[in-house]
């Protein structure tokens, strides 16, 4: 017999018990306390979820139980977390391609820098809104330069036909590394192609995305995106300073959104190997580049040229199915991007591009070694010179929530080709090294694989 039945029988029998208690010399006050205890037990059982174990019988000497937390109250509080990336480092000169979440030590085009920086602080909030939407907000403070919205979007959770809609401001699914936050990267700095072709902060902004998971024996998802990239014609650089990399998109953004399409496929190649691949396409208009001519006057070139990006990426990983005897794994990642500019009144039709490839090996439970090679200017164009970079990363991961990383790189910028709008960097070669500390506190939702 369950607790409600017992309590009901007890309440029905209370008058008889009272009479027996009176006959035995029990006071009326004790009888009243017994009734209250039985009524309290009945109410507690009615509030308990189905299948929950019955509470232990209370006695008159027990302390009053704490009020139970209302169901659903906790769901009103989103998962919250803070991630800190802090660095101490050295740079021979400022990098020729700087990403917004790269560590900045204040080096100039030809001057060294040595010091410390807080590379990024990320504040994350995520929660299931209701049966139809999930909401996520990511705020970042890169190099303590002010807070910005890295992503803030809602994702549908219950659309039919394997469809999903994502709306808000977020990182595009173009390529592989563009959609990853800093703490997901395997190296302290992002690849060269990020700022060279996708923008200093990557392809992100107010966007709408529709994706469809194909009903196939393997994983295949197709994406269609529209994003409002809005950038003015860039200002002239300071004398002796190279201009920022030309943006692929953002011209006339108030009337012309940038359109993107991606396809991503995953293949499990047995128990130890897996392959994740993708192809991407984007189309928009470039705001051009501004340089200083021989007289020192600012001149804007290539404004309004139609631009197309074509990309392909691959991620191949080996990890033994049974890791009880060790913690080895090996991951290869590569990505290539080609860009096409149409001709306009002052610049010809042209192509440029770049690529990177990296290998990350887990050699022990907490140790990872990584090597990456970058190449920009394959081919070169009037706005892109050839730049090469080699990088080495050694990571000690204390847990899922902390890690230390030693990172070193050597970058070499070749002389721009004939007809280029870019100056020659001096020095051409530059070495940089960082020791990075990262930790995470709070509940942080999983990012896409």
Q: What is the pLDDT of residues 386-408, one digit of tens each?
A: 999 999 999 999 998 999 999 99
Digit-coded pLDDT (tens) for 72-93: 455 578 999 999 999 999 999 9
Using DSSP's 3-state secondary structure scheme, residue 7 falls into helix
Q: Lowest-pLDDT range, 20-24, 65-69, 255-259, 296-300?
A: 20-24
Query: Rounded to the nearest 10 degrees, how much is the dihedral formed by the CA atoms of 101, 102, 107, 113?
Result: 120
> Mean pLDDT across the stretch 213-236?
93
Q: Lowest-pLDDT range, 119-133, 138-152, 261-275, 323-337?
A: 323-337
- For every residue of 352-399, DSSP letters joined together read EEEEEEEEEEE-SSSEEEEEEEEEE-SS-BTTB--EEEEEEEEEEEEE
Residue 21 phi/psi, 5° resolution? Answer: -65, -40
Digit-coded pLDDT (tens) for 330-341: 999 999 999 999
> Which residue stretches of 48-179 are H helix?
none
pTM beyond cutoff 0.85: no
Inform me whether the pLDDT recorded for 344 exceeds 80: yes
pLDDT at 253: 80
Inform me whether the pLDDT recorded for 46 exceeds 50: yes
The number of C-alpha atoms within 13 Å of 204 and in the hemisphere containing its C-beta is 22
Q: Lowest-pLDDT range, 54-68, 89-103, 244-258?
A: 54-68
Distance CA 104, CA 94 (A): 8
Pair 409, 391: CB distance under 8 Å: yes
- More confident position, 23 or 315: 315
Inform me whether the pLDDT recorded for 151 exceeds 70: yes
Average pLDDT, the chain: 86
Pair 303, 291: CB distance under 8 Å: no
Q: Lowest-pLDDT range, 84-93, 216-225, 238-247?
A: 238-247
Closest CA to 189 of 80, 304, 101: 101
> Mean pLDDT across the stretch 50-59?
50
Confidence of residue 27 (pLDDT cuts 50, 70, 90): low
pLDDT at 58: 45
Inform me whether the pLDDT recorded for 156 exceeds 80: yes
Digit-coded pLDDT (tens) for 167-188: 999 999 999 999 999 999 999 9
DSSP 174: S
Distance CA 229, CA 310 (A): 18
312 CA to centre of own chain: 20
Q: Domains in the chain, start-ordered, CATH in brackets?
A: 3-47 (no CATH), 79-442 (2.40.160.10)
pLDDT at 47: 58
Confidence of residue 53 (pLDDT cuts 50, 70, 90): low
Confidence of residue 30 (pLDDT cuts 50, 70, 90): low
Distance CA 334, CA 282 (A): 19
Closest CA to 404 of 433, 373, 441, 435: 435
Pair 203, 140: CB distance under 8 Å: no
Pair 407, 395: CB distance under 8 Å: no
Distance CA 67, CA 39 (A): 16
Beta bridge partners of 156: 133
Q: Lowest-pLDDT range, 6-15, 196-205, 210-219, 302-311?
A: 6-15
Q: What are the Cα distances from residue 385, in Å, to 102, 129, 247, 423, 425?
A: 21, 47, 15, 9, 10
Pair 73, 171: CB distance under 8 Å: no
pLDDT at 45: 59
Distance CA 315, CA 335 (A): 9
> Mean pLDDT across the stretch 302-320?
95
Inform me whether the pLDDT recorded for 29 exceeds 70: no
Inform me whether the pLDDT recorded for 67 exceeds 70: no
Q: Lowest-pLDDT range, 56-70, 80-94, 147-161, 406-420?
A: 56-70
Tokens representing residue 26 in the block: 């029990």
> Mean pLDDT across the stretch 246-250?
94
């Amino acid at each position: 017999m369950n607790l409600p039945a017992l309590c009901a029988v007890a309440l029905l029998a209370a008058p008889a018990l009272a009479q027996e208690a009176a006959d035995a010399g029990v006071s009326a006050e004790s009888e009243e306390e017994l009734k209250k205890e039985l009524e309290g037990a009945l109410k507690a059982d009615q509030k308990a979820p189905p299948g929950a174990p019955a509470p232990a019988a209370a006695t008159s000497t027990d302390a009053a139980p704490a009020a139970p937390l209302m169901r659903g109250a906790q769901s009103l509080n989103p998962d919250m977390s803070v991630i800190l990336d802090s660095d101490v480092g050295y740079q021979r000169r400022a990098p020729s391609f700087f990403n917004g979440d790269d560590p900045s030590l204040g080096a100039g085009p030809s001057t060294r820098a040595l010091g410390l920086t807080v590379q990024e602080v990320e504040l994350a909030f995520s929660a299931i809104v209701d049966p139809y939407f999930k909401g996520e907000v990511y705020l970042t403070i890169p190099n303590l330069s002010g807070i910005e919205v890295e992503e803030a979007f809602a994702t549908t959770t219950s659309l039919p036909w394997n469809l999903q809609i994502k709306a808000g401001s977020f990182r595009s699914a173009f390529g592989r590394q563009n959609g990853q936050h800093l703490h997901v990267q395997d190296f302290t700095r992002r690849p060269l192609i990020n700022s060279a072709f996708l923008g200093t902060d990557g392809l992100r902004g107010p966007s709408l995305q529709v994706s469809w998971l194909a009903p196939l024996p393997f994983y295949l998802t197709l994406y269609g995106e529209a994003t409002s990239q809005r950038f003015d014609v860039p200002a002239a650089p300071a004398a002796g300073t190279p201009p920022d990399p030309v943006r692929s998109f953002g011209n006339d953004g108030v009337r012309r959104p940038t359109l993107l399409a991606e396809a991503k496929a995953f293949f499990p190649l047995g128990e130890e190997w897996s392959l994740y691949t993708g192809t991407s396409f984007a189309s928009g208009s470039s705001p051009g580049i501004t340089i200083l001519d021989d007289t020192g006057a600012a001149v804007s070139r290539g404004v309004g040229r139609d631009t197309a990006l074509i990309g392909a990426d691959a991620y191949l990983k080996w990890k033994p199915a049974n890791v009880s005897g060790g913690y080895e794994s090996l991951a290869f990642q590569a990505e290539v991007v080609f860009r096409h500019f149409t001709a306009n009144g002052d610049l010809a039709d042209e192509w440029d591009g770049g690529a990177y490839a990296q290998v990350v090996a887990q050699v022990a439970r907490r140790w990872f070694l990584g090597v990456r090679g970058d190449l920009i200017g394959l081919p070169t164009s009037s706005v892109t010179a050839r730049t090469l970079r080699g990088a080495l990363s050694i990571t000690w991961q204390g847990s899922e929530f902390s890690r230390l990383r030693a990172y070193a790189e050597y970058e070499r910028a070749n002389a721009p080709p004939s007809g280029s709008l870019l100056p020659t960097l001096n020095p051409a070669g530059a070495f940089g090294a960082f020791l990075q500390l990262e930790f995470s506190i709070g509940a942080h939702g999983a990012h896409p694989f």
